[in-house]
Structure 1
Amino acid sequence: MIKQLQRLMVFLLLLSGWLSAFLVTGLFGRTSLYLLLPVFLLGSGMGLMLKLTHIRATVLTLAVTAIAALALLNQFFPQHTPRLSALKGTPPDFFPASIEVPVVDELSAFMTERSLASSSTVTIQLIARLPAPARRMLIVDDRMYVTLSDLGAIYLIDQISTGQPSEHPILYHSGLDRPFGLAFSNGRLFVAEPYQVLELIDTSLDLLVDTEKILLDGLPDDGGHWMRALTSDSDGFLYLSIGSRCNACEEEDQRRATIVRIDPDTGETREFAYGLRNSLGLAVAPDTGQLWATDISRELQGRVPPPDELNRISAGEHYGWPYCYGQQTPDPLLGLEHLCRDSVPATVDLPPLCRPMGLVFGSSLAAPEEYRNSIYLLCGGSSYRASHPGPKIIRLPYDQGTISGPVMDFVRGWDPEWGAPIALAVSEQGDLFFSDEQSQAIYRVRWPVATKQGLEQGR
């Protein structure tokens, strides 16, 4: 009886060791000094177990306690621990993808060889360098428009389909205040500043804006999240995200933490969705016409961070912030259960600290079917935690308005010395583009020519 109690105590000691190990690595990374606690618990448990029994029983107990710890953490902290389902198979292969750099740039900041990894065989090519980071990209009629918030400017890259790097991007417009979101509606170009939305008009068709027209002004610009994402639907309506003023609070200005819909012909505006802390990714599904949005969740210092979100947006609905997050989980400080019950749970819980910066649908990509039937998100990673997973492009299988599979990495491997991706775009020719804050550059992701030829023959 005493020996059985001793074995039970050792079992619980090993279980607590695994629990603390998984939690510490999830919260603080594998280099944290907090790992001394699980090392001590596991080491003590193994030593005691070896005294009580033989090596095989010790190894078996270690395995059982590890699986039990994972099962418990998957139940109570699923957003920040390894998934048991990952044990059922091997992760997809990743292929090296060296970044192709034009000769003119090889002796510049791109002298060091740069390489990423992708789950598909793709080429990645530098196509433009800019005087500041491109916060947003919009491709219309073979032209890419990019906002350079730091310079208050919009640049234009013409003939984006040529496949040749652009040595001299065109300054399309300047004198703006932190321009961010871009949208095209019924042949008209719109840009979002923190406090207003402008229509930009090139009346002489010389690739230079000569007229600004205010569509909407008076937006809240008293601090907090100033980046305004912008998109349009097939009916021509514009959708604008207005981020919160704070990490977690009850806003005095009810326009904060919302998405608003704008009629570009009249300027009439109405609040479309609520409870969205900072939605930097907005896109309309090409098959259903429904709006989708990312949301960056609050920071929880010293706690397990909440998941970021991907939401399918419906008019008039509340998506939780600041009272709850994810699957209607009450916020530990502001959580109100009755308000959470009335909110819409996230369509997908994204990895904590993902910090989704961009959102595009892959339906027009010149890529294999599984990659066309996907939503692509750009995880920028968080600077608040040393253990954040780092930037990457992820994809979610998509089928007729629903997410049909788990989150999967698509491109990863950025070195913080030279890479910090911040925006995504898809061209009419089927290429995927991402911009990089660190290198102040734009890159093209392209599938093999054989893939494109096969798609064209099948159309």
Structure 2
Amino acid sequence: MKTWAKFTLALLLSTAGLSACSNDDDEEDFWESMIPENEDEPTTAQIKGFVFYPALLPASAANVQQLRVPAGFTVGKFAENVGKPRIMAVSSAGHVYVTDREAGKVLLLQDTNGDGTADRQETVANIRQAHGLAIQNGRLYIVAVKELYVATINMDGTLMTPQTLLRDLPDGGQHPNRTIAFGPDGKLYLSVGSTCNSCPEPNKENATLLVAEPDGSNRQIYAKGLRNTIGFGWHPQTRELWGLDHGIDWLGDDEQKEELNKIVRGANYGWPYIYGEGKYNPSDRPRGDTTYAQYKALTTLPTLTYQAHSAPMAMVFYTGQQFPAEYQNDAFVALRGSWNRSTPVGYKVVRVHFENGQPVRFDDFLTGFLVNNNRSHFARLVGVAVGRDGALLVSDDTNGVIYRVARQ
């Protein structure tokens, strides 16, 4: 059993990297780069950072029983003992596909008798570091770190041999977990995270959302300055694209907040220099003669923010028929949970309320995975998907469980 650990790291960012200076000129350049632009907006800061991993407990019947959902809903296990399930995609026939990145495979799950639990489980593809999934025109698209594949779906849900579409996506680094989705325009959108916590990227495709034709051709940068937008999707009515970006670590318990961005073509969302509600990142200064203020003027700021270090993962807009009407066109987001915070946050599913096509607030939807006064957990959530019956499926890659939230 994994035990919890907690310690503090005092980080004096104004002296970070000084040991790397090899001569007087380098030292002078370093200190010049740390000079505040004005006395009201300093670019140096002293903070405390934390590492805290709650202990991992089993997904026992007693633990699952105490999970909390809104009145009128119930939660249980759709599948268990499925390795380390990550991203899910559901076909119109009810076949549930799920990746196990660590095992390098794609699983097929199916509830053949309609009792709310999967009674069929089989491996349908073996692909190293398989992660993101999307279904389009009877084919399953699968993305790994540098490769994009497509496979025709057979009538029984199995796959034909996957064909390689791309082999040259950027290196993964700190954020290798690519995700993909098809937009209302029929184009394939692909999220590529940053290689680091905070740094200028040598590859312009890192920390972006890419767009391409379904065969992978004509690949372009759709938006940039996105540190790690794993969960994204289009509002069913407005067709506007929304995504939740992971904030920078090591800025303290309550910084950087997670960002809900309206993602538009050509926009820059600020990473690594501008974060949150337009704040300056003290550890990275814009290159050349560009000031923080000038870079901020080029940055599209988030529409909403959420508690720092919650780690938003997959996001899905609800268009099923099982939940009450007020859930239509709202989004569900899996929050994996913090590690860089003194008190853990996340470890749950939240609902993003939309009014007139715009997000207005976050509400808890599925909670209770943190137990023992936040000292332990029994799930770190990754994927969310809507089943053919309208139930919400949620994957946990620590205990190998996929949960199902349904109306009673």
Question: Shorter-chain-normalised TM-score: which range?
Answer: 0.7 to 0.9
**Alignment counterpart, residue 369 of structure 2, candidates 395, 399, 414:** 414
Q: Give, in whole Å, the separation in 2 of the partners of 1:160 and 1:197.
A: 30
Shift of 1:365: 4.8
**Alignment counterpart, residue 368 of structure 1, candidates 310, 324, 329:** 324
Larger radius of gyration: 1
1:293 correspondence with 2:243: yes
Shift of 1:337: 1.9
Shift of 1:118: 1.9
The runs of at least 4 consecutive aligned structure 1 residues that moved more than 6 Å come to none
SS of equivalent to 1:162: coil
**Alignment counterpart, residue 125 of structure 2, candidates 173, 185, 191:** 173
Using the size of structure 1 for normalisation, the TM-score is 0.70
Q: Cα 1:303–1:151, aligned 2, differ >3 Å: closer, same or farther? A: closer
Q: Give, in whole Å, the separation in 2 of the partners of 1:213 and 1:191.
A: 10
Amino acid at match of 2:343: S
Q: Give the CA RMSD over aligned residues.
A: 2.3
Q: Cα 1:428–1:131, aligned 2, differ >3 Å: closer, same or farther? A: closer
Mean alpha-carbon deviation: is it higher for 110-119 or for 312-321?
110-119
Q: Give, in whole Å, the separation in 2 of the partners of 1:374 and 1:340.
A: 30
Amino acid at match of 1:156: L
1:284 correspondence with 2:234: yes
* Aligned equivalent of 1:306: 256
Q: Cα 1:109–1:334, aligned 2, differ >3 Å: closer, same or farther? A: closer
CA offsets per residue over residues 332-351 of structure 1, 9 Å max, x none? 22252211111101121111
C-alpha contact (below 8 Å) 2:166/2:216 kept by paired residues = no
Report 1:7-156 matches (<5 A). 110-114=60-64, 115-141=66-92, 142-156=94-108
CA offsets per residue over residues 327-372 of structure 1, 9 Å max, x none? 2222122252211111101121111111101211123252223323
Shift of 1:113: 4.6
Amino acid at match of 1:274: K
Q: Give, in whole Å, the separation in 2 of the partners of 1:111 and 1:379.
A: 22
Shift of 1:32: 10
Q: Give, in whole Å, the separation in 2 of the partners of 1:272 and 1:186.
A: 23
Q: Cα 1:263–1:303, aligned 2, differ >3 Å: closer, same or farther? A: same
Amino acid at match of 1:340: K
SS of equivalent to 2:162: strand
Q: Give, in whole Å, the separation in 1 of the partners of 2:136 and 2:7.
A: 50
Q: Cα 1:301–1:315, aligned 2, differ >3 Å: closer, same or farther? A: closer
1:215 correspondence with 2:175: no
Q: Cα 1:214–1:373, aligned 2, differ >3 Å: closer, same or farther? A: closer
Shift of 1:324: 0.9
Q: Give, in whole Å, the separation in 1 of the partners of 2:172 and 2:184.
A: 33
C-alpha contact (below 8 Å) 1:281/1:359 kept by paired residues = yes
* Aligned equivalent of 2:40: none
Q: Give, in whole Å, the separation in 2 of the partners of 1:392 and 1:161.
A: 29
**Alignment counterpart, residue 349 of structure 2, candidates 382, 387, 393:** 393
SS of equivalent to 1:260: strand
**Alignment counterpart, residue 395 of structure 2, candidates 435, 447, 450:** 435
Q: How many pairs does the alignment contain? A: 341
Q: Which has the higher helix share?
A: 1
Report 1:312-327 matches (<5 A). 312-327=262-277
Q: Cα 1:143–1:370, aligned 2, differ >3 Å: closer, same or farther? A: same
CA offsets per residue over residues 372-421 of structure 1, 9 Å max, x none? 34221122111122312241111121134211x32211121113442222
CA offsets per residue over residues 15-74 of structure 1, 9 Å max, x none? xxxxxxxxxxxxxxxx999xxxxxxxxxxxxxxxxxxxxxxxxxxxxxxxxxxxxxxxxx
* Aligned equivalent of 1:186: 137
CA offsets per residue over residues 174-197 of structure 1, 9 Å max, x none? 1x1111110112222101100011
Q: Cα 1:428–1:381, aligned 2, differ >3 Å: closer, same or farther? A: same
Mean alpha-carbon deviation: is it higher for 344-353 or for 421-430?
421-430
Q: Which runs of 5+ in 2 are unaligned?
A: 1-5, 9-57, 286-291, 371-375
Q: Which runs of 5+ in 1 are unaligned?
A: 1-30, 34-107, 449-459
Amino acid at match of 1:278: N
C-alpha contact (below 8 Å) 1:224/1:245 kept by paired residues = yes
Q: Give, in whole Å, the separation in 2 of the partners of 1:172 and 1:109.
A: 26
Shift of 1:293: 1.1
Q: Give, in whole Å, the separation in 2 of the partners of 1:368 and 1:327.
A: 34
CA offsets per residue over residues 255-310 of structure 1, 9 Å max, x none? 00000011014622111010000111021222122221111011125564210111
C-alpha contact (below 8 Å) 1:306/1:326 kept by paired residues = yes
Report 1:263-278 matches (<5 A). 263-265=213-215, 267-278=217-228
C-alpha contact (below 8 Å) 1:324/1:340 kept by paired residues = yes
Q: Cα 1:222–1:162, aligned 2, differ >3 Å: closer, same or farther? A: closer
SS of equivalent to 1:190: strand
Q: Give, in whole Å, the separation in 2 of the partners of 1:291 and 1:161.
A: 36
* Aligned equivalent of 1:425: 385
